[in-house]
């Protein structure tokens, strides 16, 4: 435990509607328009809504179907391009690491920085305000216009509260000593750890604001929320938070899951889903130079019962086929009766070492075998479960494509054997839409475009 | 049934048969050992539909017959008997056993429910029992234990005229051993997959005679079985019905560097250093001309260890990681004073093989891999971070 900080030395950065912002950067025709990123299938869930879409009531974690009802026609519903988000996130995290060696990414679009870990900073309120302003400018410049909100305070709690106060594109420094003035008028739900259930119970005893919470005794809160949680709430309501900024919290597991448009029972189809998910998990493992020992299969049945099954390998692996073989076995043990609406494959027990597998790679040529097509083709959040993919199913909304004659663009829609593509990129003005045959041989999936001008 | 037998002879036969009894029999009678007297010969048999074992001993019989007795109990009793002749008599549904002043009366199991043992297939040829025991032990160590992949729990036995090749792998290592035998039919060719644990157990316990008769029945006429008959003892095992991996394709043909090392000293050093290697962490071996440095552990929370060992090393310096158990299993299986390890790269399998003494035999081509009777143990390395 550290002593409570006396200076506003913790910075929290939260990128504004991050996925949607990257989409609007890379797709100039969507700038200023409502954009929803998430699962585009029948049961998809919104990952991020742009501020324009939020004005209509779209929210993250809402079902995509609900967001479609709320948003006007012309709203772009896009599948996620995680490679593009990752690249932009990496640029931002690198800027944060220039400020301090202690950077704790909380997700792709959120991180804490301990400014006290670098002795070069002026930690006065004026000093950190100026630092925050410069950081925001540099982020917008380096990312091609993605903005972030910054909060700076004496603790992680206050920094996070601060970054949320003036979203988007906000900057709030909570001066040391003024924590309770900022905190107490806020609704209790702003505190980390107060979810809907806790909020409901607090509400019943008349606790609505953090100030109401601070007026309650420790015994009351322990009775209400349990020992650890109650004590945590008691401390947070007093802005008592000495949590350290822990760099690179370390990945504990890597997983991937899919929600299907309709319940699947066919074991062959499900096994193909497993293969593709296992290959993606393995790819991400290798990208982070990890291997893992415990393979977990998650499944949700038609009636929403959710279960996980896992098996631990004698040796850590990063081979997709090994992971797939185990997951397939776990699935055949668990059964698919009644149909599955969700399937996930994950691996944990991560290690920096990987026991090689004599049969995993082609030892004759020394080249790793290319991943099966089904894997490289799906950057989409929801690959289609059909056995014979119609040509149009290769394309999904938001996908980056390149046409050998028409140039680079992205998929606007698909259907009836055709695909509509808008030919534009982050460095072009809004482009034209063209409708092409879905099996146009000149049209290919491609990598995310680069928003940085060369040189 | 009534007979008299020497205590050691009976105890040995019962103990040997009892080893193959199933720990959790699917049917109660399968927990039994069948005693059968015909003339002056007693046969002691066990069978669980997978493996059968039958030992024969000479007895002084006064009455032929048979009885099915709880196997583990009989094994425990015979092992504990005093050193006197044993007299066994079937008395209705019970079996009386008298030895010196000790008397036992055991319940029997319904012998009419006991399945008949598979008949021994026709002989395929003869192997030297010590060679067979050594070869099977060297190879079975690499077999897997996870029976969700049956292929990996077996030992592949390939017959090509007068050469037998055994191979087993758990996908992390692969052991291959060749040896000569005397086939019944010249030019014979066959390949089967035998459950590794059963084969290892049988080979180890059939060394009382100089030779073993190996017999095979292919799967075409029902279930394939392998029979092994030593002196007074014979066992059969059901073959695994699985394809074995095309292991020859992963045997490296050449190497970029190799080390020749003293097995005993290197093993001791590796065991010491491995003491700090936590589960899943490798033994890091840095080979440079004249020596290898072994490291294990490393992060702040773990212990660390390092030890140097003199070896001959020919090639570019190389750092390679191994699961310590896999490396030590291989070192313990080469059965020579010096061993050779061939490397291609830190991510490709390393090949461990024995080096026959004396090495001073001029004009002998290198490459122990080419000798008949050779042993090769491939280890897939552990990828080291960075």
d(CA B64, CA B58): 13
Please state, in angstroms and rounded to a whole number, the distance separating the CA atoms of residues A140 and A35: 19
pLDDT at B386: 61
Report pLDDT digits (tens) over B31-85. Answer: 999 999 999 999 999 999 899 999 999 999 999 999 999 999 999 999 999 999 9
Q: Give me the residues of B, 126-155, that contact A with CB < 8 A.
A: 146, 148
Residue list, annotated binding site of A = 14, 109
- Residue B28: is its pLDDT beyond 50? yes
Domain architecture of chain B: domains with CATH: 2-107 (3.10.150.10), 123-248 (3.10.150.10), 251-379 (3.10.150.10)
Q: Do B280 and A293 touch (CB under 8 A)?
A: yes
Pair of tokens at residue A84 = 């593009």
Has residue A232 got a pLDDT over 90? no
| CB contact B225 to A (< 8 Å) | no
Report the pLDDT value the prediction gives residue B301, as an integer from 0 to 100: 64
Flag the least confident range among A278-282, A389-393, B226-230, B330-334: A389-393
Q: According to the CATH classification, is domain A192-236 in 1.10.3470? A: no
pLDDT(A42) > 80: no
Task: Give residues with Cβ within 8 angstroms of B33, minimum separation 6.
Answer: B14, B17, B18, B21, B44, B45, B46, B68, B69, B70, B71, B74, B75
- Asked whether the beta carbons of residue A357 and residue B146 sit closer than 8 angstroms, the reply is no
Rg (CA), chain B: 25
Say what the pLDDT of residue B205 is: 92
HSE toward the beta carbon, residue B305, CA cutoff 13 A: 17
Question: Which residues of chain A lie closer than 8 angstroms to B349, CB-CB?
Answer: 356, 358, 363
For residue A22, give how far its alpha carbon lies from the nearest alpha carbon of chain B (Å).
Answer: 32
CATH topology of domain A253-357: Dna Ligase; domain 1 (3.30.1490)
Q: Which residues of A touch B385 (CB under 8 A)?
A: 289, 352-353
- Answer whether A351 sits within 8 Å of B280, measured CB to CB: yes
Distance from CA of B353 to the nearest CA of A (A): 18
Specify whether A110 is catalytic: yes
Selected for mutation to probe chain A from B383, B384, B385 (highest A CB count within 10 Å) is: B383
Nearest to B347 among A314, A329, A356 (CB): A356
Instruction: Give residue A94's region: left, alpha or beta (phi > 0; psi -120 to 50).
Output: alpha
Say if A356 is an interface residue toward chain B (CB within 8 Å): yes
- Measured over the CA atoms of residue B352, residue B357, residue B358 and residue B364, the dihedral's sign is negative
Set of chain A residues whose Cβ sits within 8 Å of the Cβ of B245: 359
Domain covering A364-455: architecture:
Roll (2.30)
Q: Mind telling me how many Å the CA of A329 is from chain B's nearest CA?
A: 9
Q: Tokens standing for A178?
A: 């003024």
Average pLDDT over residues B354-383: 66
Q: Under an 8 A CB cutoff, do A329 and B280 touch?
A: no
Segment among A19-23, A257-261, A325-329 with least mean pLDDT: A257-261
Structural domain spans, chain A: 1-176, 192-236, 253-357, 364-455
**First and final CA of chain A: distance in angstroms?**
47
Tell me if chain B has a CB within 8 Å of the CB of A287: no
User: Taking CB atoms and an 8 Å cutoff, what residues of chain A touch B175?
Assistant: none
Q: In terms of DSSP bridges, do strands B291-297 and B304-310 run parallel, antiparallel, or are they unpaired?
A: antiparallel
pLDDT at A383 over 70: no
Structure tokens at A90: 């990496």
- The number of beta carbons lying within 10 Å of the beta carbon of residue B39 is 9
Q: Is the pLDDT of residue B315 over 60?
A: yes
Instruction: Say which range, A204-218, A289-303, B110-124, B196-210, has the weakest mean pLDDT.
Output: A289-303
- Considering the candidates A7, A110, A273, A392, report the single residue annotated as catalytic: A110
Using alpha carbons, list the distances in angstroms from residue A26 to A83, A144, A277, A382, A423. Answer: 13, 9, 27, 21, 11
Question: Which residue from A minimizes the CA distance to B322?
Answer: A355
Neighbours of B84 (CB within 10 A): 13
Distance in Å, alpha carbon of A451 to nearest chain B alpha carbon: 30
pLDDT of B219 above 90: no
pLDDT band at A377 (very low <50, low <70, confident <90, very high): very low
Burial group, residue A40, by CB count within 10 angstroms (0-12, 13-18, 19+): buried
CB proximity A9 to B under 8 Å: no
pTM: 0.61
Judged by DSSP in three states, B84 sits in coil
- Does A382 have pLDDT greater than 50? no
**Strand pairing class (B32-38; B65-70):** antiparallel
Residues B203 and B214: their CA atoms lie apart, in Å, by 11
Residue range B97-115, pLDDT digits in tens: 999 999 999 999 999 999 9
Q: Flag if A358 and B378 touch (Cβ within 8 Å).
A: yes
- Which of 3.40.50.300, 2.40.40.20, 2.130.10.10, 3.30.70.270 would CATH assign to domain A1-176? 3.30.70.270
Strand order of the β-sheet with A46-49 is A46-49, A35-38, A76-78
The pLDDT of residue A194 is: 80
B window 263-322, beta carbon within 8 A of A: 280-282, 321
Partner residue opposite B349 with nearest CB, options A289, A351, A358: A358
Taking only the tens place, the pLDDT of each residue in A101-118 is: 888 888 889 999 999 988
């Amino acid at each position: 435990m550290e002593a409570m900080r006396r200076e506003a030395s913790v910075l929290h950065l939260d990128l504004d509607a991050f996925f949607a912002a990257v989409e609007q950067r890379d797709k100039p025709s969507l700038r200023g328009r409502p954009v929803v990123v998430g699962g585009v299938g029948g049961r998809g869930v919104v990952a991020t809504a742009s501020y324009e879409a939020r004005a209509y009531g779209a929210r993250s974690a809402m079902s995509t179907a609900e967001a479609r009802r709320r948003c006007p026609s012309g709203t772009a519903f896009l599948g996620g391009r995680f490679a593009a988000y990752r690249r932009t996130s990496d640029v931002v995290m690198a800027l944060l690491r220039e400020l301090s060696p202690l950077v704790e990414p909380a997700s792709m679009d959120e991180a804490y920085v301990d400014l006290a870990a670098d002795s070069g900073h002026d930690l006065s309120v004026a000093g950190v305000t100026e630092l925050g302003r410069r950081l925001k400018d540099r982020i917008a410049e380096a990312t091609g216009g993605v903005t972030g909100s910054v909060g700076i305070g004496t603790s992680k709690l206050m920094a996070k509260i601060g970054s949320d106060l003036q979203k988007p594109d906000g900057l709030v420094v909570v001066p040391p000593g003024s924590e309770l003035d900022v905190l107490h008028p806020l609704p209790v739900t702003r505190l980390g750890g107060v979810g809907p259930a806790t909020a409901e119970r607090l509400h019943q005893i008349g606790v609505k604001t953090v100030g109401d919470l601070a007026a309650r005794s420790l015994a009351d809160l322990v009775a209400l929320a349990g020992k650890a949680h109650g004590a945590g709430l008691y401390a947070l309501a007093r802005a008592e938070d000495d949590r350290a900024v822990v760099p690179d919290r370390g990945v504990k597991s890597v997983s991937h899951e899919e929600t299907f448009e309709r319940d699947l029972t066919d074991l062959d189809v499900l096994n193909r889903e497993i293969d593709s998910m296992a290959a993606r998990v393995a790819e991400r493992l290798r990208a982070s130079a990890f291997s893992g020992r415990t393979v977990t299969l998650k499944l949700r049945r038609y009636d929403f019962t959710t279960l996980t099954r896992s098996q631990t390998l004698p040796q850590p692996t990063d081979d997709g086929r090994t992971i797939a073989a185990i997951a397939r076995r776990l699935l055949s043990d668990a059964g698919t009766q009644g149909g599955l609406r969700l399937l996930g494959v994950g691996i944990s027990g991560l290690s920096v070492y990987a026991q090689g597998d004599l049969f995993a790679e082609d030892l004759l040529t020394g080249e790793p075998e290319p991943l099966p097509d089904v894997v490289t083709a799906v950057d989409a959040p929801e690959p289609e479960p059909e056995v014979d993919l119609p040509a149009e199913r290769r394309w999904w909304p938001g996908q980056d494509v390149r046409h050998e004659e028409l140039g680079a663009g992205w998929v606007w829609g698909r259907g009836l054997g055709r695909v509509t593509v808008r030919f534009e990129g982050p460095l072009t003005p809004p482009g034209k839409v063209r409708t092409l045959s879905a099996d146009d041989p000149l049209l290919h999936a491609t990598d995310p475009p680069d928003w940085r001008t060369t040189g | 049934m009534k007979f008299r037998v020497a205590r050691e002879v009976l105890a040995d036969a019962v103990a040997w048969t009892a080893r193959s009894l199933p720990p959790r029999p699917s049917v109660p009678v399968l927990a039994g050992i069948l005693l059968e007297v015909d003339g002056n010969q007693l046969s002691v048999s066990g069978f669980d539909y997978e493996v059968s074992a039958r030992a024969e001993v000479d007895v002084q019989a006064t009455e032929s017959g048979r009885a099915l007795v709880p196997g583990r109990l009989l094994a425990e009793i015979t092992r504990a008997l005093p050193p006197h002749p044993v007299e066994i008599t079937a008395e209705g549904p019970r079996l009386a056993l008298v030895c010196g002043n000790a008397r036992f009366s055991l319940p029997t199991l319904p012998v009419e429910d006991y399945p008949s043992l598979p008949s021994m297939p026709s002989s395929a040829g003869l192997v030297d029992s010590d060679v067979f025991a050594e070869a099977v032990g060297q190879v079975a160590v690499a077999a897997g234990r996870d029976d969700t992949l049956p292929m990996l729990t077996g030992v592949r036995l390939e017959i090509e005229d007068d050469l037998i090749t055994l191979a087993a792998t758990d996908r992390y290592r692969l052991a291959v051993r060749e040896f000569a035998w005397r086939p019944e039919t010249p030019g014979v060719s066959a390949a089967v997959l035998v459950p590794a644990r059963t084969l290892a157990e049988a080979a180890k316990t059939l060394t009382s005679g100089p030779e073993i008769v190996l017999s095979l029945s292919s799967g075409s006429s029902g279930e394939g079985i392998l029979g092994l008959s030593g002196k007074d003892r014979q066992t059969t095992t059901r073959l695994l019905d699985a394809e074995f991996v095309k292991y020859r394709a992963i045997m490296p043909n050449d190497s970029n560097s190799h080390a020749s090392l003293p097995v005993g000293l290197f093993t001791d050093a590796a065991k010491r250093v491995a003491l700090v290697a936590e589960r899943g962490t490798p033994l890091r071996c840095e080979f440079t001309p004249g020596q290898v440095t072994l490291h294990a552990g490393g992060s702040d929370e773990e212990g660390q260890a390092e030890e140097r060992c003199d070896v001959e090393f020919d090639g570019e310096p190389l750092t390679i990681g191994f699961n310590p158990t896999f490396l030590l299993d291989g070192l313990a299986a080469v059965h020579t004073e010096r061993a050779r390890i061939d490397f291609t790269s830190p991510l490709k399998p390393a090949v461990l093989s024995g080096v026959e003494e004396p090495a001073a035999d001029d004009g002998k081509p290198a490459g122990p891999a080419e000798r008949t009777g050779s042993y090769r143990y491939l280890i897939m390395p552990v990828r080291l971070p960075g």
